[in-house]
Structure 1
Amino acid sequence: MQRIMVVNALEPEESRIAVLEDSVLQELYIQPAGTEQYLGNIYKGRITNVERGIQAAFVDIGLAKNAFLHVSDVKAGNGESFLPTDSPTAKRRKDDTPIQNLIHKGQEIVVQVIKEPIGTKGPSVTTYVSIPGRSLVMMPGVVHYGVSRKIADEAERERLRKLLTELELPKDMGFIVRTAGVNARKADLQRDLRYLTSLWQAVEERIRSSQPPALVYQESDLVLRCMRDVFAPDIEEIVIDSEDVCRQVSEFLRMVGLGHRRLVKHYRGAAPIFDHYHIESEIQKTFHNVVPLPSGGSIVIDQTEALVAIDVNSGRYTNEADIEETALRTDIEAAREAARQLRLRDLGGVIVIDFIDLRLEKHRREVEKTMATELKRDRARSRVLRMSRFGLMQITRQRVRQGTKFALYDRCPTCAGAGLVRSVNSMVPHAMRQIRLGLSKKDVETLEVSTHPDVAERLANAKRQDLARLEEQTRTRIRIVHCPSFRPGQLEIVCHLRDGKKLTL
């Protein structure tokens, strides 16, 4: 299997990175134009209020909205330990100490963003600060040494643990060997250790000298972050369309001792790099609800505020003789594609997949196994529950930022994101009801009805006699105004009173 990393950084407003496996897009990372990235940043903040009812606090870190700090993310300062993990932050505390006994309003506190602001919510933060290197994650103030649970080979885990014990590790610092540290030598870990220690000393100096709220550590940009976190020895090429970024990546690889600078290639083709590798069309498909499957079936993806719903359709294979085998084959294809789409679209939270019903228990277990295997490739943490008798599978996937679609697209101003607008047939009786409401007000001389031209035309024609009757009964003039700038479902009623005042419904 050939794996290559393609970097589109020619436009300074937006960077994009894709990982291809045998020319198939498997991973996609985008840093949208004009959006700041907060995940992983460390701030010196001040607690604005402590909410006992929800056992959480809000911290002013200098952003538009205060950050949310849950009690389980408040370090008690007693050298707590936690299990090895590949998460960029430490595992939450699980004792029952109330938050009011740990922190108080007005207190200065050092926190790290673990979840980007999403929608109307501010960022989520933790006091379990951690800084990732290439092979190690350093966790100041938490004494623990371990190896990522994603490294399954027990012999390799034991070798890495032994290498950790041979290093001169600073006191009151925890270290975990990351998944990227597989096959690392002692010299690699030592180099990472020196880099992280030096970096933390600089952060500590900023913490001492800064007044809250202040940014004391900022995560790397998208390209260097992916080189640190995503690049792996099995990637055969790194193709970049920007000469400056080529130099940065080569220097970064040299600095961290990866020795893979020869893999970095500057793309000089006439066509945009993502079009050359047929990635652009694949990206556009990730914004479509319907995703075709190789067998002729499809999956339909709908994202809501509460959850992501994925429906599996069998397509043209419904006529085959063995319905159970057809359903199994389609469901396995759907599980693979659904896992891929979750990565590409960066969908998180609760995900419910409605597979085609399978009669045999062993077939349901096979689909579950396929989904679990595919999700192991995902850098985000996830959990798969067993498929129900009705073919429903529930998945939880770590959500640390808004999905790719919402990061790149604005909500439609016409339908407000619903995908539907009120029909003309429905708007006409609605407008008539609003007109009657306006006429019920006292001292109305003229009623002005502004709406979309299609609705206005229907009112002026189909409701001409009704409007004339209302004018006669109320002795009020009714004006229908065509407004091309109005949305199809938009209606504005203005009552002009006899004393010259206006009343807008």
Structure 2
Amino acid sequence: MTKVTKTSEATASEIMIVNDDPGVETRIAILENGRLEELYTERINSATGVGNIYKGRVTNVESSIQAAFIEYGGSQSGFLHVTDLHPKHFPGATTSERVGKKIAKHNRPPIQKCLKRGDEILVQVLKEGIGTKGPTLTGYLSIPGRLSVMMPYMDKVGVSRKIEDETERKAMRKVLDSINLPEGFGFILRTAGMGKNKLDIKRDIAYLIRLWKMIEKRIATVGAPCQLYNESDLLVRTIRDVLRPSIGAIVVDSTSAYDRIKTFLKIAAPRASRKVIHYRENAPIFHAFDIERQIEEVHSREVVLPSGGRLVIDQTEALVAIDVNSGKSRSAKNSESNALNTNLEAADEICRQLRLRDLGGIVINDLIDMGNASNRKKVEQKFQDNLERDRARTTVLPLSRFGLLEMTRQRIRPSVLDSHYKSCTHCEGLGLLKSIEEVAADATRQCGWFLQHDKVAKVELTCSPNVGTYLFSNKRNQFAAFEKNTNKRIVVRIIEGIATDRIVFYAYDERGSDIELDTLEKVTPPSIQNLMDLQASHVEPEELLEKTGRKRSRRRGGNKAPLAQATSISGNAN
């Protein structure tokens, strides 16, 4: 949990840098003493749908997973779990719920008793869809303002959980209680509202109420599926949600972005509008502040730690694996101290990389082993402290016996890897290529198999120059044996530019006509009984010598002991 403290602008150590390419992309970086700490990017043609509100239609209810699939207007149906279904859809239930008192899953009726196919329902996008999975939806609507969050169909008020100080919480709740709030709405005061006066908060709430009335008009006049509310774009969203007293300046490189930020802040936070600076230099703004170089590090698999250690970050389908290596880190006098120092550095950097790369889901950190229990506690606490500034929800477990620190981080949007890269067309995302030797061995075996089919008279394979050279140098005799045994031909054709691990086969009949490889008959496994019968009828040379009593002739030097091999040891102890 984050403990919020007031920070004077005079001691501000952070700056916000906005790089806006109108109509193309917006990038926003938060620097702390010149170091990149937060990075937000959004391309116009792939803007996030998180926060958008829709009137959707139920297309399917799956009782086995207690979820419904909602057609809401996106390319994929949304996923709504019963735990995200608002109680107003419960049979015979009230239409509201208290803020912070969400009904537990075991107290909720089955989803099939709440929804049926064709029902209309208000939903909000909670998480972006990833891969073949559609977006996650929720029936708990929330519309954020600068100082507060409004939740329709909820009761009571609350204070952000990120504020731990009880004195501050009581003071903020007292301000909320003094405001005449409309019925049927719940409100949460955000951390940005801490220390604000009653008038500022009333103005923020009044803005949210006006916005909801516009949404209600659209609900009444437009059929499902349709969009009701469009969350602000990255520029306004970041200024609204991320701007804090510790940020001393907002430097913006485009005129349109500068004007929009100034206009928004004059309404939402008039004092903060003085922090906005229009960058007019010729040098690209992210280069001028050394941000581009730091972004390149975010795209790297390895991250170097200050003392010489390094992180290796691998993102998989199931989880994110982060390996901590000491590398050249030998600053401490003993291994335990060295492990502690490296792990503490790793804790700082891992939490930073999770933010910068938008990594979510399960994260497994393989730290350097430490024997001292107090040192392990220090590392665990270091993770907790660093995660306090993370806007995503996180859960951290204690270090395991194997030195693994398991954690989860809320996945809100696709990671940098998913949004900036696509799978390699050569390795299909594996990140590895077969060795030349393995490719050649596979090609040889495949040729031998194709030649066994009666319809095939010639096999032709195309390959890269490296593989072709290896085949001619090392597999020539094997190919010749195939040709001799089958009285068929093998042709190797080298093509420049083909991937090293790519082999293309062609088969021809006796007339030279193409044969579709897929039409070749499938393999039929040989009968084990036939193999055993064949084995019984076959007499080994050694057995023949024993039966005839003939002795092997000895050559000169035959009294030398043979090379010892495990397979030549018999069961006879004598």
TM-score normalized with structure 2 length: 0.83
Q: In structure 1, which of residues 454, 465, 469 is the aligned counterpart of residue 481 of structure 2?
A: 469
Distance 1:248 1:91 in 2: 40
Q: Which amino acid in 1 is paired with 2:452?
A: S
Sort the Cα spacing of 1:319 and 1:138 in 2 relative to 1 into closer, same or farther, 3 A.
closer
Q: Is 2:484 aligned against 1:446?
A: no
Deviation, 1:91, is 8.2
1:405-436 deviation per Cα after TM superposition (whole angstroms, max 9, x unaligned): 22112222222222211111001111112212
1:181-200 deviation per Cα after TM superposition (whole angstroms, max 9, x unaligned): 22122112111111111111
Identical-residue share of aligned pairs (%): 43
The aligned residue for residue 55 of structure 2 is 44
Distance 1:94 1:220 in 2: 36
Deviates more, 1:255-264 or 1:243-252: 255-264
Q: Is 2:36 aligned against 1:25?
A: yes
Deviation, 1:461, is 4.2
Distance 2:119 2:66 in 1: 16
Distance 2:319 2:257 in 1: 37
Deviation, 1:216, is 1.4
Deviation, 1:4, is 0.6
Q: In structure 2, which of residues 6, 14, 17 is the aligned counterpart of residue 3 of structure 1?
A: 14
Distance 2:328 2:241 in 1: 41
Q: Is 2:270 aligned against 1:258?
A: yes
The aligned residue for residue 523 of structure 2 is none
- Could you tell me whether the CA contact under 8 Å between 1:349 and 1:397 is conserved in 2? yes
Q: In terms of Rg, which structure is larger?
A: 2
Sort the Cα spacing of 1:33 and 1:442 in 2 relative to 1 into closer, same or farther, 3 A.
farther
Deviation, 1:15, is 0.9
- Could you tell me whether the CA contact under 8 Å between 1:355 and 1:391 is conserved in 2? yes
- Could you tell me whether the CA contact under 8 Å between 2:451 and 2:457 is conserved in 1? no
Q: Which amino acid in 2 is paired with 1:27?
A: E
Deviation, 1:448, is 2.6
Q: Is 2:260 aligned against 1:244?
A: no
The aligned residue for residue 310 of structure 1 is 322
Q: Which runs of 5+ in 2 are unaligned?
A: 1-11, 89-93, 519-574
Q: Which amino acid in 2 is paired with 1:249?
A: I
1:192-231 deviation per Cα after TM superposition (whole angstroms, max 9, x unaligned): 1111111111112222222222121111111110011001
Q: Is 2:404 aligned against 1:388?
A: no
Counterpart mapping for 1:251-400 below 5 A:
251-318=263-330, 320-400=332-412
Q: In structure 2, which of residues 19, 24, 27 is the aligned counterpart of residue 16 of structure 1?
A: 27
Q: Which amino acid in 2 is paired with 1:496?
A: Y
The aligned residue for residue 72 of structure 2 is 61
- Could you tell me whether the CA contact under 8 Å between 2:56 and 2:121 is conserved in 1? yes
- Could you tell me whether the CA contact under 8 Å between 2:87 and 2:97 is conserved in 1? no
Q: Which runs of 5+ in 1 are unaligned?
A: none
The aligned residue for residue 81 of structure 1 is 97
The aligned residue for residue 496 of structure 2 is 484
Sort the Cα spacing of 1:62 and 1:460 in 2 relative to 1 into closer, same or farther, 3 A.
farther
Distance 1:486 1:246 in 2: 49
Distance 2:106 2:242 in 1: 31
Q: Which amino acid in 2 is paired with 1:329?
A: N
Q: In structure 2, which of residues 396, 417, 434 is the aligned counterpart of residue 422 of structure 1?
A: 434
- Could you tell me whether the CA contact under 8 Å between 2:98 and 2:186 is conserved in 1? no
Distance 1:244 1:91 in 2: 45
Deviation, 1:291, is 1.3
- Could you tell me whether the CA contact under 8 Å between 2:99 and 2:157 is conserved in 1? no
1:272-331 deviation per Cα after TM superposition (whole angstroms, max 9, x unaligned): 111111111111101112212222222221211111112222233437423322222221
Q: Secondary structure of the equivalent of 1:394?
A: strand
Q: Which amino acid in 1 is paired with 2:67?
A: A
Distance 1:412 1:480 in 2: 27
Deviation, 1:80, is 4.5
Distance 2:385 2:168 in 1: 21
Q: Which amino acid in 2 is paired with 1:285?
A: E
Deviation, 1:13, is 1.5
The aligned residue for residue 5 of structure 2 is none
The aligned residue for residue 502 of structure 1 is 515
Q: Secondary structure of the equivalent of 1:318?
A: coil
TM-score normalized with structure 1 length: 0.94
Q: Secondary structure of the equivalent of 1:351?
A: strand
Deviation, 1:33, is 5.7
Sort the Cα spacing of 1:382 and 1:475 in 2 relative to 1 into closer, same or farther, 3 A.
same
Distance 1:44 1:484 in 2: 55
Distance 1:209 1:421 in 2: 57
Q: Which amino acid in 2 is paired with 1:149?
A: R
Deviation, 1:243, is 0.9
1:98-133 deviation per Cα after TM superposition (whole angstroms, max 9, x unaligned): 110110112111111101011221101011111111
Distance 2:19 2:128 in 1: 23
Q: Secondary structure of the equivalent of 1:48?
A: strand
Sort the Cα spacing of 1:234 and 1:92 in 2 relative to 1 into closer, same or farther, 3 A.
farther
1:153-202 deviation per Cα after TM superposition (whole angstroms, max 9, x unaligned): 22221122122122222211111111222212211211111111111111
Deviation, 1:267, is 0.7
Distance 2:104 2:156 in 1: 14
Distance 2:468 2:232 in 1: 55
Distance 1:302 1:213 in 2: 39
- Could you tell me whether the CA contact under 8 Å between 1:19 and 1:26 is conserved in 2? yes
Distance 1:481 1:202 in 2: 69
1:13-49 deviation per Cα after TM superposition (whole angstroms, max 9, x unaligned): 2211011111111111111363131111111111111
Q: Secondary structure of the equivalent of 2:216?
A: helix
Sort the Cα spacing of 1:214 and 1:486 in 2 relative to 1 into closer, same or farther, 3 A.
farther
Distance 1:461 1:23 in 2: 57
Q: Which amino acid in 1 is paired with 2:383?
A: M
The aligned residue for residue 128 of structure 1 is 140
Q: Which amino acid in 2 is paired with 1:110?
A: L
Q: Secondary structure of the equivalent of 1:174?
A: strand
Q: Which amino acid in 1 is paired with 2:183?
A: K
Distance 1:319 1:243 in 2: 49
The aligned residue for residue 200 of structure 1 is 212
Distance 2:49 2:85 in 1: 19
Deviation, 1:82, is 4.9
The aligned residue for residue 158 of structure 1 is 170
- Could you tell me whether the CA contact under 8 Å between 2:506 and 2:514 is conserved in 1? no
